Chain A
Amino acid sequence: MTSLTVEKPPSAETEAPTRGKNSWARRLTPFGYLSPTVVLIVVLMVVPIIMVISYSFRDNVIVQDNSVFAGFANYATVLKDPDFLAALKNTFIFITVSMVAHLLLGLGFAMMLNSPLLSGVTKAIFRVVYVLPWLFTIAVIAVIWRLLLDPSGVINYLLTTLNIVSDGVNWLGDPGSALWVVTFVNIWSGYPFFMISLLAGLQGIPGELYEAASVDGANPWQKFWNVTIPQLRPVIISMAVLDLIWTSQQFALIWMMTGGGPLNSTEMLSTFTYKLAFSEYEFSTASASAVIVLLLTMVLAFFYVRQQRER
């Protein structure tokens, strides 16, 4: 005989508050765990961004107590400023050329380091040499290249000794060459990150794909174009978009090498905004400029996020 023991259900009066308490605690627990991160994000990101946006719609902010609402006046001032338009153009050239060169150099070096033609030791040596520029901080890079590119520096010495040029070239002091020179230095300092990422991507491509292509009679170029590139596509797109975002925020290199000069030829959106804020003390227009930069960067970030979702 089976005996069934029925436990007496807890009385509604005694259990209801405990369940309610448990239910609330359970609901709040995740928020409790999240709270340090949420507080950090709010304090370090949300509040400053909102403050800068609010400054951009006001006049005389920070430096005076009686700031007034100015609508879009600060945006109009910034957008009509020829220096801003020059900075926008320079930034576009700087980030696009840097990104394309980073990609080409990074891919070229990554393929070389992935090549079966080189021995392990040779690859290790080249890997160290190629990654060197990435190990220097921007301040060191700026100082090294300023010294090298000085009119009486090493580069001009070599060029004149080898009779490539008769007089030393004024690399950073010439408005015609300064933008290309700082872009070159940025390319030099940034390609190793592309190289390492693409090398990881190359090493993840299954060898069977190349074998199948060989069986189909594909030549090296066809293998590169139809196997390597499609396989690397997600990495290439992610890196390209991230590089555009990072390079558009490059400030220290420009500031330390040319300060935006000569004659605004290397003025970037970052240096333009900095000068408005910390030299002219025009924090309202500087905020408007910063918000415009934020919006432009968000367009790039949108493409990055969409690409990541597709993956």
Chain B
Amino acid sequence: MAIRKASRTRLIGALTAATVALALGACGGGGSDEASDGTVTLEFAQWWAPELPAGSFDKIINEFQTANPTIKVKLLSGPYASTKQQLVTGAASKTLPDVVGLDGAWVNDFAKQGAITDLSKLMTDASYDQSQLASQIQLEGKTYMIPVVNFVYPLFVNQDLLTKAGVSKVPSTRTEFLDAAKKISASGGNVKGWALPLDTAVPNGIQNDVMSWLWASGGTMLADGKPALTTPQVKSVVDYVKSLNDAGVIADGSLTMKEQDKVEKFTTGQVGMVFDSLAHINLVKKNAPDLKFTIAPVPAEDGYTGKRGIPYASWGIGVANSSEHKAEAFKLVQFLMDQKTNGELATLANGFPGNKNAKPDFSNSDPLFEEAFKIYQEGTPANEFVGLPKSEDLMRSFDENLQLVLTGKSSVDDALSKSQDSWSSVIG
């Protein structure tokens, strides 16, 4: 009897273990996101909440849930890089959250994979008035991303360093910029005129710090959607960056410098001028309350009188193709693009609204934001990397060729020709 009992106990133990194993195996199966009372739960992955004041994004989402009692939103918040990685793998396995925060640089790849849905159809189905949207990111005539908040990248200038160097006016042309950078670099104290982050891990320095010279003068790196890197306009930019490097006005270590290093160097007064996101104004002021700085449009070619392109990045939004609740997902998109909510979100994020009619509230913010809004309205938002396939890879190949130029291992013409070939293999 005792033996039988022991054997039974063993069997029960083994069965328990096997049940645990089955439960483990079932973990990946997921469950229904629609409750028996008809409440739908939407997953919303984004990197916005960590970048906003604590709890403020939750408050906006709660307002949405109050207005839509049958929809619940589960926020999946993380830093930009990990959100990107999560979305890339989610897109690959067709398990994207219902609503996704998007960067314009990812749209082409996600749309081609069929991971994000055509928003044009959702807008038509919901009879949504598209005229209120400042912009839409499209591919083959279909909208895949709506920019919710836009961040511009103007020129940040340390006024103390400029004055100390004997420069009275914030540079507005390339010649004035080179002159100011030279004078700042010559003012001593290991200070340099400009910072150029070319780290290849996140090569967005090409977009924000190199191509911004091109767009500011109305130039383009594409012709009919194809790469056009060997044009005189692009060549003049690379020649100009090389001349800045040859003049010794670029902060050391640029080949492995990251964007945060650039901001740090500006904040600590090691660099006189940088192109930076407007969103960093508060960060700079918090870390260096005594730093006297201003913002200005990116300098253009001498004699250029047209509208200046100003680089921007967006917090975009899209809906997953695999979502079973696209209509509900679009309700959330609509809510975030609503004039009132969008203006509120833009104010919190220190950015500019994606809804044309929304106005950011400058009453409690730094006067520089109002100044930036003027620059934004007077210029044209420009970022040709938005919507391109493998845009990060395009930036990286351009970056590597630019590094060859700056280290004297390649001529400008060769570097541009190689970049052109490399880009043509992706978007040719």
Q: Report which A residues bind B (CB closer than 8 A).
A: 22, 25-26, 28-36, 38-40, 43, 62-65, 146, 150-152, 168, 170, 172-175, 178, 255-264, 275, 278-281, 283
Contacts and interface: CB of A to CB of B under 8 A. Distances in A.
Contacts of A34: 17
A258 B261 CA distance: 13
Contacts of A275: 393, 396
A262 B396 contact: no
Contacts of A62: 92-93, 113
Given A22-B7, A173-B252, A173-B254, 4 more contacts: A40-B24, A63-B92, A64-B112, A261-B403
B190 A29 contact: no
Interface of B is mostly: helix
Task: Sort A-B residue pairs by CB-CB distance and give the 3 closest, nearest first.
Answer: A259-B201, A32-B14, A151-B252
Given A258-B256, A259-B199, A43 B28 contact: yes
A73 B15 CA distance: 47
Contact of A173 (B109, B114, B257): B257
B247 interface: no
Contacts of A262: 198, 200, 255-256, 403, 407
B11 A39 contact: no
Contact of B201 (A32, A35, A174, A260): A260
Contacts, number: 126
B201 A283 contact: no
B201 A63 contact: no
A261 B257 CA distance: 10
B85 A278 contact: yes
Contacts of B252: 151-152, 168, 170, 173
B392 interface: yes
A261 B190 contact: no
Contacts of A64: 112-113
7 contacts: A32-B13, A33-B13, A33-B17, A36-B24, A175-B255, A259-B202, A264-B400
B286 interface: no
B174 interface: no
B200 A259 contact: yes
Contact of A281 (B25, B109, B396, B400): B109
A173 B256 contact: yes
A25 B109 CA distance: 53
B390 A279 contact: yes
A141 B18 CA distance: 43
Interface of B: 7, 10-11, 13-15, 17-18, 20-22, 24-25, 28, 85, 88, 92-93, 109, 112-114, 190, 198-202, 251-257, 261, 265, 270, 390, 392-393, 396, 400, 403-404, 407, 409
Interface centre among B92, B113, B199 (most CB of A within 10 A): B199
A227 B241 CA distance: 62
Contacts of B198: 261-262
Contact of B253 (A65, A151, A263): A151
A107 B198 CA distance: 40
Contacts of A172: 253, 256
B396 A36 contact: no
B253 A150 contact: yes
B109 A152 contact: no
Contacts of B28: 43
A29 B190 CA distance: 73
A279 B105 CA distance: 11
Contact of B17 (A35, A281, A283): A35
B255 A173 contact: yes
A258 B17 contact: no
Contacts of A178: 256
Contacts of B112: 63-64
Interface centre among A40, A172, A173 (most CB of B within 10 A): A173
Contacts of B17: 32-36
A256 B81 CA distance: 12
A175 B407 contact: yes
A15 B139 CA distance: 74
A33 B404 CA distance: 60
Nearest to B399: A261
Given A279-B393, A279-B396, A36 B256 contact: no
B11 A152 contact: no
Contact of B11 (A29, A38, A255, A259): A29
A39 B10 contact: no
Contact of B20 (A28, A36, A258, A263): A36
A64 B24 CA distance: 30
Contacts of B255: 173-175, 261-263
A279 B400 contact: no
B24 A283 contact: no
Given A26-B7, A40-B24, A279-B393, A261 B200 contact: yes
